[in-house]
């Protein structure tokens, strides 16, 4: 495995950043997770745009422009001779003296990791997964802007630990008002009387790239799709539940807190959207 660090490639064993890097010291950084199919990254422009948004909200200067990021990502995939790949971009504040002031770091550190993508077990998609509503709540948006895809992930880690202890694949966090916000690494959708619902931005969520694709696909199908707050009780009583992210795509949820969702099997709309997502990936990559 070859790791991209600030314009150069290093073998995995030699890929290192400074212990004085503020990403290591304070979690002062941002990241994006991407997925490549046949060597081509799906929705690359959208991921770069979100990385730029995170950097702007963090008042961080990115080390590359759009074209530079495209080249660096493409080169990293090619350098590792990958087709279907998981790609992680991390940009930290960079190396600097100990202290919270961002001005202590003269330049950011850019790391790109690309590795072979191994899909989730087929039974997860066929049978659905278990989720747990955690006691850990999503950070209040007035504390940390959820639009920042930050490497400061302790909130999500606490929720993930809860979910794992409960024997679930994912933890679902509520916001400060008690409404469903998002998963530890996913956006949440429910289906109610044929309509698709997902928490709005004001619920304190990070707007996922996959979430946006799914909303567009639903609209194209003529499915009523809206951003509305809903409670954990409404989620348990929904006709269908699924979660989305770059690697899972559309993942059915069939058990919430030990209770079956409807008949305990992936729902019809979930399956339809999952198939449409696969078709959209193929269509977009063929066009590029």
Would you please indicate which residues are annotated as catalytic (active-site) residues? 149
Judged on CB neighbours under 10 Å (0-12, 13-18, 19+), 24 is middle
For residues 76 and 4, the answer to whether their CB atoms sit within 8 Å is yes
- DSSP-derived letter for residue 138 is P
How far is the CA of 153 from the CAs of 62, 90, 114, in angstroms? Answer: 20, 13, 21
Count the alpha carbons within 13 Å of 61 in the hemisphere toward its beta carbon. Answer: 6
Judged on CB neighbours under 10 Å (0-12, 13-18, 19+), 169 is buried
Please give the structure tokens belonging to residue 20: 């004085």
């Amino acid at each position: 495995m070859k790791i991209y660090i600030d314009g150069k490639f290093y073998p995995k064993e030699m890929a290192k950043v400074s212990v004085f890097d503020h990403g290591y010291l304070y979690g002062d950084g941002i990241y994006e997770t991407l997925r490549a199919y046949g060597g081509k990254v799906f929705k690359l422009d959208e991921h770069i745009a979100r990385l730029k948004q995170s950097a702007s909200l963090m008042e961080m200067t990115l080390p590359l422009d759009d074209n530079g990021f495209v080249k660096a990502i493409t080169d990293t995939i090619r350098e590792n001779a990958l087709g279907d790949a998981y790609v992680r971009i991390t940009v930290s504040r960079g190396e600097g003296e100990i202290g919270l002031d961002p001005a202590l770091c003269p330049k950011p550190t850019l790391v790109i990791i690309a590795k072979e993508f191994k899909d989730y077990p087929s039974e997860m998609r066929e049978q659905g997964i278990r989720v747990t509503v955690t006691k850990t709540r999503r950070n209040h948006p007035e504390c940390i802007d959820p639009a920042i895809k930050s490497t400061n992930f302790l909130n999500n880690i606490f929720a993930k630990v809860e979910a794992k202890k409960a024997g679930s694949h994912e933890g679902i966090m509520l916001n400060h008002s008690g409404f469903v916000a998002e998963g530890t690494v996913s956006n949440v959708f429910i289906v109610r009387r044929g309509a698709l619902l997902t928490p709005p931005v004001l619920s304190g969520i990070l707007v996922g790239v996959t979430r946006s694709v799914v909303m567009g696909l639903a609209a194209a199908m003529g499915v009523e799709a809206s951003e509305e707050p809903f409670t954990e009780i409404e989620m348990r009583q929904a006709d269908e539940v699924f979660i989305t992210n770059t690697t899972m795509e559309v993942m059915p949820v069939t058990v919430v807190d030990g209770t079956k969702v409807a008949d305990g099997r992936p729902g019809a709309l979930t399956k339809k959207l999952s198939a449409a997502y696969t078709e959209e990936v193929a269509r977009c990559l063929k066009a590029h």
